[in-house]
Copies of this chain bind each other. A is one copy, B any other.
Amino acid sequence: MSCGAAPRIVMKFGGTSVSNLDRIRKVAQTVKRQVEVGCEVAVVVSAMSGVTNQLVEYCQTLNPLFDSCEYDSIVATGEQVTSGLLAIALQTMGIKARSWAGWQVPILTDDAHGKARINQIDASALIRCMKEGIVPVVAGFQGVDHCNRVSTLGRGGSDTSAVALAASLKATRCDIYTDVDGIYTTDPRIVKKAKRIKAIAYEEMLELASVGAKVLQTRSVELAMKEQVRVQVLSSFEDHDSSKEECLPGSLVVSEDEIVEKEQVTGIAYSLNEAKIVVKGIPDLPGIASSIFAPLAEANINVDMIVQSSGTNQTTDMTFTVPKTDLLRAKDILEKAQNIIKFNQLITDENVVKISVVGIGMRSHTGVANIMFKTLAERSINVQVISTSEIKVSVIVAAEYVELAVRALHTAYGLDKMND
């Protein structure tokens, strides 16, 4: 596609897109095509796939409680290598290019090593570079703190690097090249008729990301929303025809008002990483919720989907979900607090799935939740917990129903036929 009036784009390539020299050459071709249609391009790269894992393993083997400053300095080298190699590959194809490590840009972060946040990007050197017709190839995932030490942004952080860079460069668009060709209405491994979503709102993407569609790092979507960066997700393994603007490949993540046709439901996500806890027979007194959730919060356990229901004899039941990995800890904490909570029974269930339907159209359409309950009831799927937000309805059902439920909902919301 051409870049329009202000043709400046950021192109980001993930680890599988640069996993070997052949793929790095293919990425260089993709960048070259954008340069040749007149775009001003900045590139962000991840480490070659496998490299970061190897470096992390070195650190963990030496000391499971490694110094996160040293960890950052070690793992950030992966992206430094890729940025240099891609610069060489571009130069070899006649495109002027140079690599930039995070500290060279500089991309300034806080000092929360291992999961740092970008405070500021001084893009002036990069802009000078681009004005000279040189493609900057920026090492993703990294920055530098106020003490001049290398920091990293957490796994998937190169997405955030790219979006932040697009914001500082005031880029027309941030293209995230990955190993899938876009964001789908649901998991294509479960639903063959899943369709690529042409345009999705930031809020929808955030809801989908948080419930399992791991195409973009959540923080990168939050940042894109805050900075109003248009993000396009597309595959680095397909050749995109750059001559047709009207037929954008991949999926565009944009602000709600850019989306003309607001579907009731944009996508259906599921998560098998949740476990259900039911605390039964609690005295129905003020402050009882706090007696349950305060100790869990103290232990940094993320509680989701809280539902309170009346029991018998002035008691109440509290149902909620926690990440599966935290279930044993949560159970232990609650049992130790039995003398305060005074529950009769504690039931836990790992065999559950959280299914969510997401769509900004819910704001103006009514009855979205009802379609969900009706569809599940028709398949005799028992809904155990319900929670809703402005643009999302989530339910907990038994894990064995995951495929059946997702497929039935996909059909019920008309997504099988979308975009056809």
Taken residue by residue from 59 to 91, chain A's Cβ proximity to chain B (1 for < 8 Å, 0 otherwise) reads as: 101110011011101100100110111011101
* Among A25, A84, A91, A149, residue most surrounded by chain B Cβ atoms (within 10 Å): A84
Within 8 A of B (CB), among A71-127: 71, 73-74, 77, 80-81, 83-85, 87-89, 91-92, 98-99, 101, 103-104
Q: Is A259 an interface residue (CB 8 A)?
A: no
19 pairs, CB–CB < 8 Å, chain A vs chain B: A21-B58, A24-B62, A55-B81, A59-B88, A62-B85, A62-B88, A63-B89, A63-B92, A66-B88, A69-B98, A70-B84, A70-B88, A70-B91, A70-B99, A73-B99, A73-B101, A74-B85, A77-B81, A80-B80
| Minimum C-beta distance from A96 to chain B (A) | 10
Contact A88 B67 (CB under 8 A): yes
Say if the beta carbon of A314 comes within 8 Å of chain B: no
Residues of B close to A55: CB separation below 8 A: 81
Residues of A within 8 A of B (CB): 21, 24-25, 55, 58-59, 61-63, 66-67, 69-71, 73-74, 77, 80-81, 83-85, 87-89, 91-92, 98-99, 101, 103-104, 148-150
Q: A74-B80, A80-B73 are in contact. Are A104 and B67 (CB under 8 A)?
A: no
Residues of chain B lying within 8 A (CB to CB) of residue A81:
55, 58, 74, 77
What CA separation (Å) do A104 and B73 show in the bound complex? 11
Query: Contacting A87 at CB < 8 Å: which of B67, B88, B98?
Result: B67
The residue of chain B having its C-beta at the shortest distance from the C-beta of A137 within the complex is: B70
Query: How far is it, in angstroms, between the C-alpha of A66 and the C-alpha of B71 when the chains are bound?
Result: 30
Which residues in B have their C-beta under 8 angstroms from that of A84? 59, 70-71, 73-74
Interchain CB contact (< 8 A) of A88 among B63, B85, B89, B99: B63
Q: Collect the chain B residues with CB atoms within 8 Å of residue A149's CB.
A: 104
Prevailing SS type, chain A contact patch: helix
What residue of chain B has the Cβ atom nearest to residue A144's Cβ? Answer: B104
Contact among B58, B80, B103, B148 for A85, CB-based, below 8 A: B58
A91: contacting residue among B25, B63, B85, B150, CB under 8 A:
B63
- What is the CA–CA distance of A74 and B103 in the complex, to the nearest angstrom? 15
Separation of A101 and B73 alpha carbons in the complex (Å)? 9
Which B residues touch A148, using CB under 8 A? 104
Q: A66-B88, A104-B149 are in contact. List 17 more A-B contacts (CB 8 A).
A: A62-B88, A62-B89, A63-B88, A63-B89, A67-B87, A67-B91, A67-B98, A70-B85, A70-B99, A71-B88, A73-B83, A73-B101, A74-B80, A74-B81, A101-B150, A103-B103, A104-B148
Query: Which residues of B are found within 8 Å of A63, using beta-carbon distances?
Result: 88-89, 91-92
Q: Which of B61, B69, B92, B98 contacts A21 (CB 8 A)?
A: B61
Q: Which residues of B contact A66 (CB under 8 A)?
A: 88
Contacts of A70 in B (CB 8 A): 84-85, 87-88, 91, 98-99
